[in-house]
Structure 1
Amino acid sequence: MHNESGSSAPPRPSLAVGLIVFVLVFVASAVALCFEAELPYLYGRAAAVVFVITAGPLLVLAHEGGHYAVARLIGWRVALFTWGGYTIRLRPWRIRHGAPPFSDAWGAVVAVPTQESRWGYIAVFAGGPAANLAIALLSAVTASALETEAAAFFWLLAALSLLAGVTNLFPWRKGSDGAQIVSILGERDLTARTLMARLAEQMIGEVRPRDWPPSLMQSAMRLTLWTPYSVLLLLLYVWHMDRGEVDAARRIWLRTGDDSEVICERAFFSAFVDGDAQGADGLLTRAGADPSCLRFWRAKAAIAVQQNDFPLAREAIRMARIIAGRDPYATVWDREVLDQLELRCTA
């Protein structure tokens, strides 16, 4: 993991302590509400306020914890656990706080199958909603047992947790657990999904691309012979580039699609390798500006270097380093390219 200047950042034990304290505060507030009648009035009100404030984030944590628990129960590896702005790498252990790596989700778990299993995938995706439904049941039982005003807070928690579990099970939006389960049931072959999970594990584990297992890369080559999986082709491109196989990386572009990240990478390649700043600028304009995309800023930096606009190049490199520092999929090669661009600015 790198900070904004690109240097290595140490693990943050204080963040781990903070997360544990947050959970304990919620548990303490819940226990205090159960015994509200025996507490002074102000203490009971304070417990209610803390309970309401922390309930939402804890429901998200429980949801992701359900995915994690099921994955570990069936013997799968878990490479990454995110909760809001917290990103937790399991191997190697890293925890940081910043912009969420998955902008369309409040949390995520990256589970890696040890053996390809359709029902394993379904169980892992169902684990999150199952955890929410379990909390809804526990909260309802607790509320039923209480004879004080505090019961209303547990009924509220039960309703919110039930809503979270049920809405996640229905395939009403792209990316929901229910949508993922439907997609898995409709896929004839899960090889591509499993391969991408295992390659994601390599990136999250900070293994540099040229050291990715040959068996994984050979499988990626076979899969992309007939079907242009954009993600796998991008990973093959990075693998070739880190191995210094520029011609092989160039051939990848003949088979890639036209999504914005692919076009940004083409723009970078045109400027950085071919020195064609004008052509690269046209490609980047076609892709559109995406301030959250590492590939966009890297391409912009390469173009600026070719045009001798070094202030713009340094600013683009700075933005790219910020994004690389919080992106669990940024590789050593990505950071080394930024180092090379910075050297060109000073040369």
Structure 2
Amino acid sequence: MTPTSNDLLRSSFAALRAEGLRARDAAARMGLSEGAAVAAHAVSPTRPAHPADSLLHAVVLDADWLGLLRGLEQVGEVMALTRNEHIVHEKIGVYRHASAQGPVGLLVGPEIDLRLFFSHWHVGFHVTESTPRGLQHSLQFFDRHGVAVHKVHARPQTDFDAWHALVARHHSPLPSPGFEPGEPLRTADRPDAEIDALGLGEAWAAMHDTHEFFDLLKRFQVGRLQALRLMEGVHTRPAPADATARLLAQARDAGVPIMVFVGSRGCIQIHTGPFHRVEPMGPWLNVLDDGFNLHLREDAIHETWLVSKPTDDGPVTSIEVFDRHGDVIVMFFGARKPGQPERPDWRALAFGLTSAPEREAA
């Protein structure tokens, strides 16, 4: 039988994975998105079964995203993974209390805390892969460009009867939808001179809640990093290149619990708590704690800013980290609940990173 193009893709992908490349990197080496590489392993009406020598098998899932996430509560402990180009955020726990309003989902549990943007969820797969550690099971979700928006990895403690029942309920009989080539287009910022900086500053100072910030950016048609730059000295301060490494080390040493926000286009994943193991390894800055891992390419950091936003509970301070395109890599906040003021130890730590005197938002 003459091998098909997908047969060749699968064999090339398996060879690269055997060399130790991560799935995302193996796909990139082949000139594919990760989603396209996974889709090449999916069953379809013309390929109803997997060849015995295929290391990776994929089953297309239906688009009942909320139903899938709610069903995960029954499978018990899993690992949630959200990443962007420069950072990986991994949390171990149970998916609890999934809900949604329209295309926006929310999942808030003691371990796994997610904000979900389903308009960017294009296709999901149940993926099994043979590895030196045995057969690995995961649910993987991709946007229309084939970029992973979120993944759920089974663990030894996972209830696999419940896992397989969930996959069976959400197995789609349809083939995988295609992916759009290239990366999502970035919207260029308007020139600074066209921004109503005075109005932006006044509206910023009038905020009552940090969640108003996104609408503020839309109202003034200003990019996030552009807004931070325009408000420098009033509501923001630049921080040096080593601010993130210092933040993690100082938070670990002082036992300051913080919130770590990492986002893809379709998901923001949040960790709340202290750190214990912070370990640089080459270009990677890692947190290697029980239940939480973070892997950051420190050489991808282009700008870091301290940001202060007024709220009804007092000022809320964040450290926001950007790449060379102006995209957010990661954001850090002090651990807090709605209705609680910000922790003084976090605020002191954050302002100390900028070597600027502490000052509350105007």
Could you say whether these structures have the same fold, taking a TM-score greater than 0.5 normalized by the shorter chain as the test? no
If the length of structure 2 is used for normalisation, what is the TM-score?
Answer: 0.27
> By percentage of residues, which structure has more strand?
2
> By percentage of residues, which structure has more helix?
1
If the length of structure 1 is used for normalisation, what is the TM-score?
Answer: 0.28
**Larger Cα-atom Rg:** 1
